[in-house]
Amino acid sequence: MGDYLTPSELPQPKLKRTNTGFTPNQIIALDASIPESAKHIWYKYSQLKVLDSGKRGTHAPDSADVLNSKDAFEQSFVRHVETTLARNMYNCDNLAAYQAASETIRDGLLIDWANTQQKQTVQDGKRVYYLSLEFLMGRAMDNALINLKSRDNTKQSLSELGFNLEDVLDQEPDAALGNGGLGRLAACFVDSLSSKNYSGWGYGLNYQYGIFKQMIIDGYQVEVPDYWLKYSNPWEITRHEIQIPVDFYGYVYEDHDPNSGVAKKVWSGGERVLAVAVDFPIPGYNTSNTNNLRLWNAKPTEEFDFTKFNAGDYQQSVNSQQRAEAITSVLYPNDNFEGGKELRLKQQYFWVAASLHDIVRRFKKNHKNNWNKFPDQVAIQLNDTHPTLAIVELQRIFVDLEGLEWSKAWSIVTKVFAYTNHTVLPEALEKWPVDLLGRLLPRHLEIIYDINFFFLKDVEKKYPGDRDILGKVSIIEESTPKQIRMASLAIVGSHKVNGVAELHSELIKTTIFRDFVKVFGEDKFTNVTNGVTPRRWLRQANPLLAELIAEKLNDPHYEYLTNLGSLKNLEKFINDDDFLKKWDSIKFHNKRRLAALVKEEVGVELDPTVLFDVQVKRIHEYKRQQLNIFAVIHRYLHIKQLLAQGISVEEIKLKYYISKASIFGGKAAPGYYMAKTIIHLINKVGEVVNNDPEIGNLLKVVFIPDYNVSRAEIIIPASDLSNHISTAGTEASGTSNMKFALNGGLIIGTVDGANVEITREIGEENIFLFGNLAESVEELRHKHIYEGVQIPGALNDVFNAIESGQFGHPDEYRALVDGIRHHGDYYLVTDDFDLFLETHQKLEKVFGHHGGDANDKDHLHKWVKKSVLSVANMGFFSSDRCIDEYAENIWDIEPTNQ
């Protein structure tokens, strides 16, 4: 142990400057050291702009030149096949074609990316950094082609080279960097930051495995590893020169400056890993502005212990490597046990520490130690509580490493951070045991206690003698064991807190954060309703509908995709039967595409003429997939009763039920038993219904496994009706409701989340709302506990069928049924069940007996008109509008000059 150095004593790796981000003064100094003959050659062949003289290479194209010239694309494609992939025309399959095409597109994209980074550095404006533990990006190639407006050229070039673009696109795996709405929102936001010409970076983790790949075996969800990086990822640029050391464990001691005598805290960490940067360029639409998504890989400081290896201890020799790489191995490691909790906390600190040091390094390059300018140059958005340790880390950097006085450092920190809350459920607010955090990050625990001490002193001055409020707003929860409330820390350390829909933002002020509103005042709390990017969720997911809209708006360049409010002009064509028929035929085409996916994945034939009733999202009791499947069971039981009475299928269609396919999808967290039970029930109901020869196409039930972005791009455009039926007051916003409505699918939903604002925009007559309101929920829950749960007769029939073993052994579903019958029905299934059934009866009369007949005037003039009016009024729900609101009201940033 004598010669052993702790991580904090190890030499700090020097960060090398990359080929972007030089200021004009730095360029002048460097330019003088380069011989004229060398500069001449660079000017001649460089594809990048030379900003000191305005010169460009004589054949220095931007991305448009590279990607919109057929000859240039084909030349680059062949070069990549032969030199990057070491293949030739005889062994170039679809995978090789995808890789070569991606490299070609990336080449063009990187020109814009490098020029953007250089331009933003020179302009030296404020930059926003979006910290999200998830970025659910989906496939990159098609999105890049759309944003760069080079899809047609690429399709034609690939065709001439012997490939079909759709087959090539299918070779790309979904980037498993996220799980649900949180990650998809972050992906939409980085797209909009680029498209709206803001200077903005995303920061996240480069997971090797996604949360899991979902398989359905005998009706059960089975989790298998989702290793999405089977092949090298052409969209990532690994920055081996950017390696940031991140420490864990160790101890804290005081060091006294021999000159001033001032005491300084020093953290001597006990374990070090390196954060290695991986960059993903994010192109904007209708602009050359290309921002960056920087993800971090965890690597050991040394590959393995050579001494242990030579001694034959092979397992221990690579132990440090395995411990390091585990940090970025899996999205959301299971935290049902202590080791999993520690790994998750390690992930969060590793990510924010690397990101903060990268941000500070970039600031110091241009502004040295002028820390007063830091809030004018840097805005950091915390997407949920996962990155909250960034607040503590920045305070540590300022106080411990840069020598700032505590209050000055804290003043800067609170001007920089803003926090987005994504839940109204108190149990969903993140907490960490004090003991765990103190062991892993001892200095950070000290800083958290200091932040809490100074904050509570201020609260006590404002409310002397009110000990009750001190306990409610304290960052430390005096429970057993003691916990750190991360949401409280995020509020105290941020200058703005926002919810993600109007109802949600009001609810957090009156429920989970009401005591903080009392302390800070209402001005600190604001709302930014979520949105989605129309480039991916209309142009990419639904190209035929996007094309029809462009045609009717006389917009051949698809300008409406960055000005979504212009969809309002579609209302002019609401009585044009020819237009309505085209609209409906596109929906039918999309339904056939989804039916093909279902046949391939599940083996069930779906009739595309029937109503496609869809609920795809994370499986959770509050999202109430159980309410939906109970209603499906009720429908099946009633149909069977009618058939037993001698009523024919055709008569049932005319008098009782239209034909329908109920389509489900979504993942349950591995440790969430109730959610996995719901998935099992859906699949078992599907087995019974789909194999019942009496039913025909009256009813089908399918569960599409492994729901992800690529599957959403097929499912969403095919939906006639989508379910957004959470218990009122539980869904923060939802963005899938926006995607479905933007694609012409009508919504059945509760008055919850963004459904409220969607209703306001598209009109109550174009959405099917039901259920108890948020203000009634607590009273109903109280009645359930003290007066018992009243089970409606129709729901009781469903429970009896489940308990009779009609859908498998009843013990499989006992917890699900008992939770409603005997344990308070927390999510109010009993209160909303009959209302849900009634609303279905109403909407099915509007849909009519379509039967695939494009000349069905009744269907056109009722359902299809509502579909058009829904799309025409979705302009508000663009993520571009969100980003503009964040920029103006929270970040105080302006678009860069293009």
Q: Which residue among 344, 617, 711, 881 is the active-site one?
A: 617
List, as own/partner pairs, every contact residues 225-228 make where C-beta atoms lie below 8 angstroms and the sequence separation is at least 24, other chains included: 226/176, 228/173, 228/174, 228/175, 228/176
Residue of 602, 669, 530 lying closest to 184 (CA atoms): 530
Question: With DSSP H G I counted as helix, E B as strand and the rest as coil, what are the percentages for the chain, rounded to 5?
Answer: 55, 15, 30
Residue ranges in 298-430 assigned as alpha helix (H): 306-310, 314-317, 319-325, 338-367, 374-377, 389-396, 406-416
Q: Which residue among 106, 272, 536, 618 is the active-site one?
A: 618
Q: Can 618 be counted among the known catalytic residues?
A: yes
Q: Which residue among 539, 739, 850, 859 is the active-site one?
A: 739
| Contact (CB, 8 A) for 289 and 197 | yes
- Give the rounded distance of the alpha carbon of 339 from its chain centre: 26
Residue of 271, 278, 327 lying closest to 301 (CA atoms): 271
The burial class, CB within 10 Å (0-12 / 13-18 / 19+), for 448 is buried
| DSSP, residue by residue, 196-213 | TT--EEEEEE--SB-S-E
CA dist 682 and 665 (Å) reads 10
CA dist 362 and 540 (Å) reads 35
Structure tokens at 106: 């990336």
Residue ranges in 556-664 assigned as alpha helix (H): 577-602, 625-644, 649-655
CA dist 451 and 651 (Å) reads 70
- Which residue type does 28 have? I
- Which residue type does 394 have? L
CA dist 308 and 314 (Å) reads 7
Q: Can 809 be counted among the known catalytic residues?
A: no
CA dist 317 and 310 (Å) reads 9
CA dist 878 and 898 (Å) reads 22
SS3 of residue 661 by DSSP: strand
Structure tokens at 238: 């690994």
| Contact (CB, 8 A) for 253 and 268 | yes
Q: Which residue among 735, 750, 839, 896 is the active-site one?
A: 735
Q: Which residue among 196, 213, 346, 422 is the active-site one?
A: 422
Q: Which residue among 184, 357, 396, 623 is the active-site one?
A: 623
CA dist 339 and 327 (Å) reads 12
CA dist 734 and 726 (Å) reads 10
747: left (phi over 0), alpha (psi -120 to 50) or beta: beta
Q: Can 623 be counted among the known catalytic residues?
A: yes
CA torsion, ordered 641, 643, 649, 651, to nearest 10 deg: -80
Q: DSSP assignment, residue 287? A: S
852: left (phi over 0), alpha (psi -120 to 50) or beta: left
Q: Can 617 be counted among the known catalytic residues?
A: yes
Q: Can 443 be counted among the known catalytic residues?
A: no
Longest dimension (CA), the chain: 99
| Contact (CB, 8 A) for 569 and 874 | no
- Positions annotated as catalytic residues are 422, 617-618, 623, 735, 739
